[in-house]
Amino acid sequence: MKDYNENLVLWQQIRLETRPAKGSIETYDHIDNLVWQTRSALPTEYENNLGDALETVLAETHELAEIVAKLNTLGINNRDGNEFTEENFTLELSHLAKQ
C-alpha cells in the first residue's frame, strides 16, 4: 500500500445524476483506504514538525498572537528559517491548505 494517492484527480467536475443507479458512488469493498487521500505526496519533515508543534500549542491557546509566540519559543521557524510573525504564519497556513 502506498503512503499517498498518486492517482488523485486534482479537479473533477461533479455531475449530478437524477436517475437511479447512474451515479458514481464508490463501493467500500472495492477501493483502497489510502492514508494520504487528499495529498499528492508525503508530508515533508517541515510540515510534520510544524503539525506536531501546532498540536502542542493549540492545546494551550487559540489566539493567533499567542500561537505565533509559542511556536517561536519552541524554535519552530518558517520555511525560510525565520521566526514566525502573525502575517507570515497565516500565509504559511494558507499555502499548506492549497497543497
Q: Mind listing the pLDDT tens digit for each residue in 61-97?
A: 999 999 999 999 999 999 999 999 999 999 999 998 8
CA distances to 45, 60, 98 from 83, in Å: 17, 20, 22
Instruction: Scan for cell 447512474, then name that residue.
Output: 22
11, 43 in Cβ contact below 8 A?
A: no
Q: Which residue has the higher pLDDT, 22 or 56?
A: 56
Question: Quick one: average pLDDT of 22-44?
Answer: 64
Dist CA 94 CA 4 (whole Å):
21
Residue 69: what are its φ and ψ, rounded to 5°? -60, -40
Residues in the chain: 99
> Would you say residue 36 has pLDDT above 60?
no
Q: What is the pLDDT of residue 33?
A: 59
Render pLDDT for 11-29 as a digit per residue (tens, 0 to 9): 666 666 677 766 555 555 5
How far apart are alpha carbons 71 and 87 in whole angstroms? 14
